[in-house]
Chains A and B, each alone.
Chain A
Amino acid sequence: DTAVSQTPKYLVTQMGNDKSIKCEQNLGHDTMYWYKQDSKKFLKIMFSYNNKELIINETVPNRFSPKSPDKAHLNLHINSLELGDSAVYFCASSKPGADTQYFGPGTRLTVL
């Protein structure tokens, strides 16, 4: 059983398009996260939700909009994609607070 799953694994699209990445966890965790890994493998937090409520919103362009329909799902929608959005996006989940975060396999987004 996959604990944190993401779809799609690969996403290739043209500049200006709108795309979504989906994340689901079956660990019963209340907190979910989106991280971005750039081409140099640097990882940085984008958003965090606790029980469907947004609690972290880092300096991310407002073209990025997270949505949490329930506490097991956290989706990421990106409008008007730009070349600089090309990266690997990781979803993660944890119990609230400083507990261990469990990561999904990542979605490699390539914007042409």
Chain B
Amino acid sequence: GDSVTQMEGPVTLSEEAFLTINCTYTATGYPSLFWYVQYPGEGLQLLLKATKADDKGSNKGFEATYRKETTSFHLEKGSVQVSDSAVYFCALIANQAGTALIFGKGTTLSVSS
């Protein structure tokens, strides 16, 4: 079945460091891909998405490119802030009716000043 694999955390960075969180997927067909973020004690918020190959999603300085050839959707940010500390989830959904999000296990990011 479809699945998402994220790099294990936690990831600990200093402010202004470069961030990469790796995400690869296994799916039949052409799924849509998402990054969601969960700040401490809160629900999930959509960070960015991409719906077809070579699409780049971007938001709040974060970006990720849908790479069909490597089945990847890595999240990057050039300069992290303390306020970026959160759990980041990569997810996919098949492009067909009657399906739901399949999540990776989440990566905890901790940024210190």
Contacts and interface: CB of A to CB of B under 8 A. Distances in A.
A50 B100 CA distance: 12
B105 A100 contact: no
B46 interface: yes
Interface stretch (A12-20, A63-71, A76-84, A90-98): A90-98
Given A90-B43, A105-B42, A98 B89 contact: no
Interface in B17-41: 31-32, 34, 36, 38
The prevalent SS among residues of A at the interface is strand
A48 B106 CA distance: 22
B11 interface: no
Interface residues of B, number: 27
Interface in A37-73: 40-45, 48, 50, 55-56
A98 B98 contact: no
Interface of B: 31-32, 34, 36, 38, 42-46, 49, 51, 87, 89, 93-103, 105-106
Interface of A: 33, 35, 40-45, 48, 50, 55-56, 90, 92, 96-98, 100-106
